[in-house]
Amino acid sequence: MSVLAPLAERMRPKNLDEYKGQDHLLKEGASLRRALDSGIIPSMIFWGPPGVGKTTLANLIANHLDRPVHKLSAISSGVKDVREVIHKVENAGMFQQSGAILFIDEIHRFSKAQQDSLLGAVEKGIVTLIGATTENPSFEVISALLSRCQVYTLKEHSKDSLKEILEKAVQKDVVLSQKNIELKEINALLAISGGDARKLLNVFEIIVGTFKKGPIVITDDVIKTNAQQSVMSYDKDGEQHYDIISAFIKSIRGSDSNAAIYWLARMVEGGEDPKFIARRLLISASEDIGLANPNALLMANNCFQAVQVLGWPEARLILSQCTIYLANSPKGNASYMAINRAQQLVKETGNLGIPLPLRNAPTKLMKDLGYGEGYKYSHDFPGNFKAQEFMPEEIAGTNFFIAGSSAKEQEIASRTSQLWGNKYNK
């Protein structure tokens, strides 16, 4: 590979053993590893943030299985390009046709019609599709195509894997290995990378380039001094939007509508997808406001629907209105924390038995076994309430909802105490 290629490109792994950061998919016994070992892979979607190795993994899979691969980018390709690839595979010889992989980068940018053009070839097995996306495929990939694919979630790199990637670059890269580089401090560089290996290497290469002679000693001060220039040089392709959406949501959470509007304007001027922004507002309305102001979710959902109808530039008005409303709403995360606690308990306790009174009894056998026996129909009792056990015996009395300071959450906690006494005060 040319030494003129960016460091991140020069350091792409050559095989699966060199690939770092996705052990949950590729370690022995993991789902994707089992498929690769069998030699039979499904069509799949790789979902994850930038710089975690989605494109690299697709290439490595094709090499590992020794399959022909055809690559398209959803940014520059259309239905005509998809059909040409499919036609080429169909008309290839038996050897080349077998197991051909079609890799589509940024598949979320394909329209419905473009995604529809893939269905027949995927369903018939003419090609094995591997799509890469930074967006939730549940929103961005049509259901017919999604049902034919296995979705694999790729995680951002840990500090340990980023450190390993960086140290390998210093030792093995054809250019960096010829320089006298000391990695004295790299915490600032790891923080700037945000779990993105490509960003880590590209920023590091620019910082190294600021040293004109002598030994290169990398410290946090050196990184911070050069970080602004480095990040600007790297983010000209638009991947900074993850940092900006983070600042946007944190401003709403912090009830600063002026800051939130500023970050919204940055995204509008940068040509961000309005649906991407609207989805984040939906999440914020539930995660950061929740029961403190239930109307916030209604407002955010209406915003999302309106944005889909309008698009740019009018969508900015709807987004602005919703942003200011959410930023100035009372905040509470009790419902968000409640589901987190409940999920953690499920992971710890597994599939506990469902109490017999709560079970459905559509057949005589189930009734004979006691399914539904003893259940009290709440509407038959004063106030439409009758105290009875709705949880598995092993976790009876566990309280997941812990009210914050908002009036509505306090009201819910008060009603829980009224109905259940001290049951959920443990």
Listed range (70-74, 292-296, 369-373) with the worst mean pLDDT:
369-373
> Does residue 240 register a pLDDT over 80?
no
Confidence of residue 97 (pLDDT cuts 50, 70, 90): very low
Tell me the helices (H) and strands (E) count for the chain, helix number first.
21, 7
Q: pLDDT tens for residues 366-397? A: 777 888 888 888 888 888 888 888 888 888 88
The model's pTM? 0.59
Q: pLDDT tens for residues 212-224? A: 777 888 888 888 8
> Does residue 269 register a pLDDT over 80?
no
Mean pLDDT of the region 63-73:
87
What pLDDT does 238 receive?
Answer: 46
What pLDDT does 301 receive?
Answer: 92
- Give the angle subtended at the CA of 424 by the CAs of 423 and 426, to the nearest 5°: 95
What pLDDT does 323 receive?
Answer: 93
- Kind of pairing between the strands at 128-133 and 69-73: unpaired
> Does residue 104 register a pLDDT over 70?
yes
Confidence of residue 4 (pLDDT cuts 50, 70, 90): low
Structure tokens at 230: 């480095």
What pLDDT does 212 receive?
Answer: 79
Q: pLDDT tens for residues 151-176? A: 999 988 888 888 888 998 888 888 88
Mean pLDDT of the region 92-105:
71
pLDDT cut 70: percent of the chain above it? 94
In the block, which residue shows the tokens 């000209």?
A: 236
Q: Map out the domains of the chain with their CATH numbers.
A: 22-153 (3.40.50.300), 159-237 (1.10.8), 241-327 (1.20.272.10), 337-420 (1.10.3710)
Confidence of residue 302 (pLDDT cuts 50, 70, 90): very high
Q: pLDDT tens for residues 179-206? A: 888 888 888 888 877 778 888 888 888 8
What pLDDT does 237 receive?
Answer: 43
Mean pLDDT of the region 215-237:
67
Higher pLDDT pick, 135 / 326: 326
> Does residue 94 register a pLDDT over 70?
no
Q: Return the H-helix or E-strand segment holding 244.
A: helix 241-253
What pLDDT does 405 receive?
Answer: 81
What pLDDT does 396 receive?
Answer: 83
> Considering only CA atoms, which of 68, 69, 67 is closest in space to residue 55?
69
3-state secondary structure of 14: coil
C-alpha distances out from residue 13 to 26, 198, 232, Å:
14, 12, 26
> Considering only CA atoms, which of 334, 327, 275 is closest in space to residue 306?
275
CA dihedral 335, 341, 347, 352 (to 10 degrees): -80
d(CA 329, CA 285): 9
Q: pLDDT tens for residues 316-371? A: 899 999 999 999 898 988 888 888 888 888 888 888 888 888 787 777 777 778 88
What pLDDT does 130 receive?
Answer: 92
Higher pLDDT pick, 272 / 345: 345
